[in-house]
Amino acid sequence: MHRMLTISLIIFLSLEVTAEEPNKVDSDLVPLPREVKAPKNNPTTPAKVELGKKLFFDPRLSGDDKMSCATCHAPDKAYGDGLALSPGAGGKLLERNTQTCLNVGFFKSFFWDGRAKSLEEQALGPIESKVEMDQDLNELEVELAAIPGYVTEFQTVFGTKPNREDIAKALAAFQRTLVTEPSPFDQFLAGDKDALSDEAKRGLELFRGDAGCIECHNGPLLSDGKFYRLGVSFKDEGRAKISGKKEDRYRFRTPSLRNIAETAPYMHDGSQKTLEDVVTFYFRGIPASGPDGLSLDTESLDFLSFSDIDAMVEFLKSLSGKAPKVTPPKLP
Ligand code: HEC
Ligand code: HEC
């Protein structure tokens, strides 16, 4: 009698555990919201978005008037540039791979090391950076104030002359509109069981199961927004450069996997050429520690039970949704 009770208790408990597992995992994978919420001090308005779009495409934002945001974040390249590393001011290569601006408004921190806390804070970085657009912000304000079209637009949108703070706000507002339409994966999550091929479904099972990807790649962007050391390379100290903490060395923000098939090459240094290469990198397994003895942040990965590289790549391809149509504007 006693024994019976124990056995049924064990059965009951184990049922509970297995019944809970898929639910927890499902709540980690959610559709992309259709809109980015704007901060209170920078509400999105159509006129502000239009102004931001012009600034985004305007090479006069750079020191030599040759480079715009869209030079590196090109609409026809999923708002990246297709390069491992892009040439910045004077043609010198930057140190990190260009990130996409698609769906970027859903992040809570920006850049590979998370050093900017808002899109407003992020926007002036590349303009001022000596290695990117190399533009003096005082000069930029003077330059834009001499363009009548911009003077009128800043007056209408902000009630001021062109100034750095409102340049940043307009750029941020434009980027918040770069939200992709539902991907096959979103349609699948919404209940359309045929939206994914059988191979992609197998990939999804691995992704949220044995391969452990979902530990870090979760939520609407398939990024937890946290920082990890995968040992991709040991040149760039990553997050440690801004936190000053030794344990943050070589850590980078988990990238979004939205439209990932369109933004090759991959990783913070652009060292992986294709999605097959990235998945093979994970599949081979990552050593437990780097050259300086720092342990890597990969305990959650169980590579032994993950062997279907093609299925994983098929799943990753299902994460692409159509980008909103943006035609390069006529500049004032
Ligand atoms: C010369 C190429 C280049 C130009 C020009 C450039 N960017 Fe970038 N962008 C990059 C690179 C490289 C990164 C990643 C840098 C890092 O993490 O240190 C990046 C990162 C970003 C991010 C962060 C994305 C994320 O996922 O956190 C945003 C947003 C962004 N850029 C917007 C802009 C805007 C707006 C402009 C124009 C004012 C601009 N960029 C100009 C190359 C460029
Ligand atoms: C421990 C957290 C973690 C786990 C688990 C994880 N990733 Fe990542 N992933 C990251 C980080 C961090 C990066 C960026 C690393 C870098 O550039 O140094 C990354 C990069 C990527 C990239 C390249 C993205 C880009 O824009 O360059 C892809 C694709 C990717 N991961 C897919 C996967 C797949 C598939 C799995 C499961 C096999 C997985 N990840 C498991 C954290 C993780």
- Among all bound ligands, the one having the nearest atom to the CA of 228 is 2
Phi-psi category of residue 44: left, alpha or beta, with phi > 0 → left and psi -120 to 50 → alpha: beta
Residue the block writes with tokens 């992020």: 122
> What's the pLDDT tens digit per position in 167-209?
999 999 999 999 999 999 999 999 999 999 999 999 999 999 8
pLDDT in single tens digits along all 332 residues of the chain: 344 444 444 444 333 333 333 333 456 899 999 999 999 999 999 999 999 999 999 999 999 999 999 999 999 999 999 999 999 988 899 999 999 999 999 999 999 999 999 999 999 989 999 889 999 999 999 999 999 999 999 999 999 999 999 999 999 999 999 999 999 999 999 999 999 999 999 999 999 988 889 989 999 999 999 999 988 988 999 999 999 999 899 999 999 999 999 999 999 999 999 999 999 888 776 666 666 666 677 665 554 455 689 999 999 999 999 999 999 999 99
Q: Which of 208, 126, 107 is nearest to 167 (CA)?
A: 126
Mark 138-162 as b/e (b = at least 16 C-beta within 10 Å).
eebeebbeebeebbebbeebbeeeb
Known catalytic residues are: 132
pLDDT value at position 90? 86
CA distance to 26, 263, 275, 287, per residue, from 281 (Å): 26, 17, 10, 11
Mark 270-280 as b/e (b = at least 16 C-beta within 10 Å).
bbbeebebbbe
Q: Which of 46, 43, 61 is nearest to 332 (CA)?
A: 61
Q: Is the peptide bond before 43 cis (omega within 30 degrees of 0)?
A: no
- What's the distance, CA 319 to chain centroid? 13
Question: The whole model's pTM is what?
Answer: 0.91
For residue 268, give the ligand 2 atom closest to its CA.
17
Ligand 1 geometric centre to CA of 158 (Å)? 24
> What is the CATH class of 46-176?
mainly alpha
Ligand 2 geometric centre to CA of 169 (Å)? 31
Tell me whether the CATH fold assigned to 46-176 matches the one assigned to 181-317: yes
For residue 233, give the ligand 2 atom closest to its CA.
18
For residue 89, give the ligand 1 atom closest to its CA.
1
Structure-token pair, residue 308 = 């279907």
Q: Write down the domain spans for the chain.
A: 46-176, 181-317
- Among all bound ligands, the one having the nearest atom to the CA of 227 is 2
**Residue 177 and residue 49 in contact, taking contact as beta carbons nearer than 8 Å:** yes
- Mutational test site, ligand 2, from 73, 204, 282, 320, max ligand atoms within 8 Å of CB: 282
Q: Is the CB of 171 under 6 A from ligand 1?
A: yes
Q: Is the CB of 79 under 6 A from ligand 1?
A: no
Q: Is the CB of 250 under 6 A from ligand 2?
A: no
Topology adopted by domain 181-317: Cytochrome Bc1 Complex; Chain D, domain 2 (1.10.760)
Residue the block writes with tokens 């290569």: 93
Q: Which amino acid is at 10?
A: I
Instruction: Find the angle CA(29)-CA(259)-CA(54) to the nearest 5 degrees.
Output: 120
Burial of 73 (0-12, 13-18, 19+ CB in 10 A): buried
Ligand 1 geometric centre to CA of 264 (Å)? 16
CA distance to 75, 137, 212, 216, 220, per residue, from 223 (Å): 22, 33, 13, 6, 8
Residue the block writes with tokens 């800043």: 154
**Residue 105 and residue 175 in contact, taking contact as beta carbons nearer than 8 Å:** yes
